[in-house]
Amino acid sequence: MFALTEEQQSLVEAARTAAQDILAPTVKEDDERELYRKELFQKLGAAGLCGVQTSEAYGGLGLGYVEYTLVLEEIAKVAPAYAVSVAVSGLPQVILALYGNEAQKQRWMPGLAAGELLGGFALSEPGSGSDAASLRTTARREGDFYVLDGTKFWITHGGYADIYVVMGRTGGPGASGVSAFLVPGDTPGLSFGKKEEKMGLRASPTVEMILEGARIPAENLLDREGAGFRVAMSALDSGRITIGATSVGIAQAALDVAASYACTRKQFDTPIIDFQGVGFMLADMACKVETSRLLVHKAAWLKDQGMVFSHIAAMAKCVSTDAAMAVTTDAVQVLGGYGYTREYPVERMMRDAKVMQIVEGTNQVQRVVIARHMRRTHGG
Catalytic (active-site) positions: 360
Distance CA 27, CA 77 (A): 11
The bridge status of strand 178-184 relative to strand 163-169 is: antiparallel
Q: Could you tell me where the beta strands, DSSP code E, fall in 235-364?
A: 266-267, 270-271
The bridge status of strand 163-169 relative to strand 119-122 is: parallel
> What CA–CA distances, in Å, run from 243 to 6, 183, 308, 371?
25, 24, 19, 20
Nearest Cα to Cα of residue 239 among 307, 153, 156: 156
Longest CA–CA span in the chain (Å) reads: 79
Q: Is 64 exposed, middle or buried (0-12, 13-18, 19+ CB in 10 A)?
A: middle
Contacts of 193 (CB under 8 A, 6+ apart): 151, 207, 208, 209, 210
Contact 350, 247 (CB under 8 A): no
Contact 261, 334 (CB under 8 A): yes
Listing DSSP states for 4-48 in one string gives: --HHHHHHHHHHHHHIIIIIGGGHHHHHHHT---HHHHHHHHHTT
Distance CA 134, CA 131 (A): 6
Distance CA 138, CA 221 (A): 13
Q: Which three-class secondary structure state does DSSP give residue 145?
A: strand
The strand pairing partners of 182, in sequence order, are: 165
Contact 211, 166 (CB under 8 A): yes
